[in-house]
Structure 1
């Protein structure tokens, strides 16, 4: 929400703009790969399991894949993708992308700047089975079926006081992942990562927003 001038009686600051991204493909793909292939990557700060557990890849298929290499690579790809999720795109990025010729090195560079690191780019497509497409589609349909809440029932409205304070500290982006429990992280100077459950609970969301400052 954003307006040029203050709106009388509206508690939302007229110049506060918050972006909520609950469909970041690079993060969803990494989470699917980890669980569908039953990888156990090492790391001290990895996200919890998905709420909607993917169907596991068949054991025979898994035995023939380089899962040990994938397991070793997973953590650093996640960290790179998460770091990119916490960045703010240049205001003129889309304009420069549209102006760049198709197939040119400049267009490829701008696309990577927009999309950021991903499993497909760094490791390849071999891990993605038909099950990945089905799981992604199911997530999309679940979000589409979700009854739209009225303006005053939006999570950001229900935790508005904490959101305003976080915005004053620089918050512009909330990234949501469909994982269980709580996993709140400040992922950049202007972004925070939360789980779907945290954002859906006003008390937990308020607590999460308060860690930003």
Structure 2
């Protein structure tokens, strides 16, 4: 969302660049774990429940102790993953990735810096040893693609450009949306906003969310 030169008649500032992260995989995994395993984490500014409630996992041999560990760690993993999701992408990391060897420590380190903190770093893949996660993920992607605007002017950022520009001038460069219920907005670092997809899809709530940054 950026042009190199001013375009007559185009209200979008030619130097304004906004990144929309609307399928943040690391955040989606953490949210899925919370609800599929019926965790009840406690903490400040935790996100609301998912719109598409996952199937409760019954078949995995997850002990009560393991669930307690997951529940206690959930808020810190969420906040770490969110902080990374709010950062602007560094294209230099991808360039450096091409210069590293497969299986090398250097490549592993770069991949970790690109992907950022996530659930699997702490607890491995055990929480996802069930087909319901992949089914839920695919269902969410299909639903997301089916609701994407087909016209440029219908995109939320174009629709509510008058509210977006002041937020961008105040430092906003990235918007992260999650498929959770209700209206929910939080500032992430110095440059990003987290919000529910429902917040972004509705003009009134999106403008309110953007006004928290400006």
**Normalized against structure 2, the TM-score is what?**
0.95
CA distance, structure 1, for counterparts of residue 133 and residue 24 of structure 2: 15
SS at 1:113 equivalent: helix
CA distance, structure 1, for counterparts of residue 21 and residue 109 of structure 2: 23
Partner of 2:105: 105
CA distance, structure 1, for counterparts of residue 103 and residue 60 of structure 2: 39
Cα displacement string for residues 8-62 of structure 1 (whole angstroms, at most 9, x for unaligned residues): 1110001111110111110000000000000001112110000000011127855
Q: Residues 102 and 127 from structure 1, CA distance in 2 versus in 1: closer, same or farther, beyond 3 angstroms?
A: same
SS at 1:99 equivalent: coil
Partner of 2:29: 29
| Contact preservation (8 Å) 1:37, 1:62 | no
SS at 1:66 equivalent: helix
How far 1:148 moved relative to its partner? 2.8
Query: Is 1:92 paired with 2:95?
Result: no
| Structure 2: runs of 5+ lacking an equivalent | none
Partner of 1:160: 161
Cα displacement string for residues 154-182 of structure 1 (whole angstroms, at most 9, x for unaligned residues): 10011111111111111111000000012
Partner of 1:71: 71
CA distance, structure 2, for counterparts of residue 59 and residue 68 of structure 1: 18
CA distance, structure 1, for counterparts of residue 9 and residue 123 of structure 2: 52
| Structure 1: runs of 5+ lacking an equivalent | none
SS at 1:143 equivalent: helix
Which stretch shows the higher mean deviation, 146-155 or 70-79? 146-155
CA distance, structure 1, for counterparts of residue 19 and residue 60 of structure 2: 42
Partner of 1:202: 203
CA distance, structure 2, for counterparts of residue 181 and residue 144 of structure 1: 20
Partner of 2:150: 149
| Contact preservation (8 Å) 1:186, 1:193 | yes
